[in-house]
Structure 1
Amino acid sequence: MQNIVSTLQKNPLFGGMPSPVLEGLARHCRIREFERLQDIFAMGDPADSFFIIADGWVKLYRTSREGEETIIHVFGPGESFAEAAVFSERNMYPVNAQAIEHALLVAVPRAAILHNIEEDSHFALNMLGTISARQRYLVQQLEQVTTRSAPQRIGAFLLRFCRMHPEGENGAMVASLPYNKSIIAARLNIQPETFSRALSKLAQHGVKTERQHIVIEDAEALEEFCDFSYDDIPCR
């Protein structure tokens, strides 16, 4: 149970919650393990839980009648997803969810969350704040897709991701890409054949790439090029 409590504590939804409250909630939660490319839930399934990622990466997506996949968002360690679905009138997941790689998730039951909301106003406000921040971030992402070039979108993605990792030598930002470039391209609404060309254009703005490794030598220059603000970062 301690692993569940630790995962809950790392999520902003439960920030500032007393340990007894988290321990009580943890008794109703369970850890679920998913292999790479394993489905977590499908669009239309009953939304009986939302999830917090202890380890791994998860994509939310929809598929058109023609079979074309549109990635809605990709979530990583410490983040939660499907919160809004458990409160919808239809009480169904509006998208599909799949593990991009091996993932450990904490499933938080709908019934336990509703009980906590009824009993704890601080918890209810945290829930509203988290959902509001997520909605604001998605609006910002839609704006980026429509107003920024492919290199700018990739640069903003790299800045957001590398910020979560320790600085390298001389203040450089260094990280390994968390998942396949094709998924990043789809997430940013960029064609795969365009992605590599757009990424190479970032070299003049201090970005070096080697397979899955990224080095941002001059973060300020890249931020200026991308018109980037750290306010664009999703809640964690």
Structure 2
Amino acid sequence: MSRSLHLDATRRSLVTPMLFSALDRGLQAHLVRISHLREFADGQIIQQRGDAADGFWLIDEGAVRVGQFMPDGEFRAVALLGPGDSYGELAVFADKPRIVDAISRGESRLRLIGARPFLDALGNYPASSRALLGALSQQLQDTLSILAGLRRGTNPQRLAGMLATMAGEAAGPASVTITQQELADLLGVTRATANAALGDLQKRRLIERGYGTIRIPDRDALAAHALR
């Protein structure tokens, strides 16, 4: 039976580990208890580039598009994040203004975990500090791998890899709810180019397109195509 992977309650577009997930369970529970729960409407701005890094965000429900607003006002997404994902920790560690914008995709609920309470609590969990170093190292490696991948492979292959990531690891068919414009943003191409890449994958019977939905009959076959 197919599982539906909607971005308001599903996996993210990135393979990099979220730093919050690397923390000790006890520390995670403590941070959730002291967090401030906030609700956002579809399209509402959660944070803007240049904001002070007064904390980091943990997604409780819904989805968030992370990227930057262009000079013409267009929002260019670089990642789609879902429940359980966190972002903004690096700005907290660096004590520098935020470098990305974030907007809600549909209605969402997020927890803001204050910078000072987080850093103070982290000192009581030395194992979590070591785990964070490991997660940060893996994030850097994954980022370098993604940048290298942008220089190789065709657009259909790059798109295949992204959709395979969104489909998760479980066997069997899956469906991903995402727009062509969002796919174009994530690939860094025009909508027409993204549409052509989708058409190529459909001809190869690696995906089936529906209105706002992409069905993936065989995730492993799609992932294998990305590596050719």
Q: Structure 1 length as normaliser, TM-score?
A: 0.79
Q: Is contact 2:32-2:111 (8 Å) kept?
A: no
2:64–2:104 contact (8 Å) kept in structure 1: yes
Could you give the per-residue CA deviations for residues 59-113 of structure 1, whole angstroms, max 9, x where no partner exists? 22223445554333221221111110011143x1111111122111111111121
Match of 1:231 in 2: none
Higher relative strand content: 2
Query: Given the alignment, which residue of 6, 14, 17 partners 2:24?
Result: 17
Aligned pair partner of 2:49 in 40, 43, 48: 43
- The two structures, once aligned, show a CA RMSD in angstroms of 2.3
Q: Is the 8 A contact 2:67 2:76 kept in 1?
A: yes
- Work out the number of aligned pairs and report it: 210
Q: Is the 8 A contact 1:50 1:109 kept in 2?
A: yes
Letter in 1 for 2:128: F
Q: Is 1:106–2:117 an aligned residue pair?
A: no
Instruction: Mark the runs of 5 or more structure 1 residues left unpaired by the alignment.
Output: 1-10, 229-236
How many Å apart are 1:192 and its aligned residue? 0.3
- Please give the alpha-carbon distance, in whole angstroms, between the structure 2 residues aligned to 1:93 and 1:199: 34
The 1:70–1:146 alpha-carbon spacing in structure 2 relative to 1, beyond 3 Å, is farther
1:49-68 mapped onto 2 (5 Å cutoff): 49-65=55-71, 67=73
| Alpha-carbon separation, structure 2, partners of 1:227 and 1:18 | 36
Cα distance in 2, alignment partners of residues 31 and 150 from structure 1:
39
Asked if the contact 1:62–1:70 (Cα under 8 Å) also holds between the matched residues in 2, the reply is yes
Identity %: 23
Q: Could you say which structure has the higher helix fraction?
A: 1
Partner Cα distance (2:39, 2:183) in 1: 23
Q: Which residue of 1 aligns with 2:189?
A: 190
Deviation at 1:120, TM superposition (A): 1.2
Query: TM-score if structure 2 supplies the norm length?
Result: 0.81
Distance 1:16 1:88 in 2: 18
Higher relative contact order (CA 8 A, sep 6+): 2
Equivalent position amino acid for 1:115 in 2: D
In structure 2, stretches of 5+ residues that fail to align are 1-17
Tell me what 2:6 maps to.
none
Distance, in Å, in 2 between the alignment partners of 1:83 and 1:16 is 12
| Counterpart residue identity of residue 104, structure 1 | R
- 1:33 matched to 2:32: no
Counterpart secondary structure, 2:146: helix
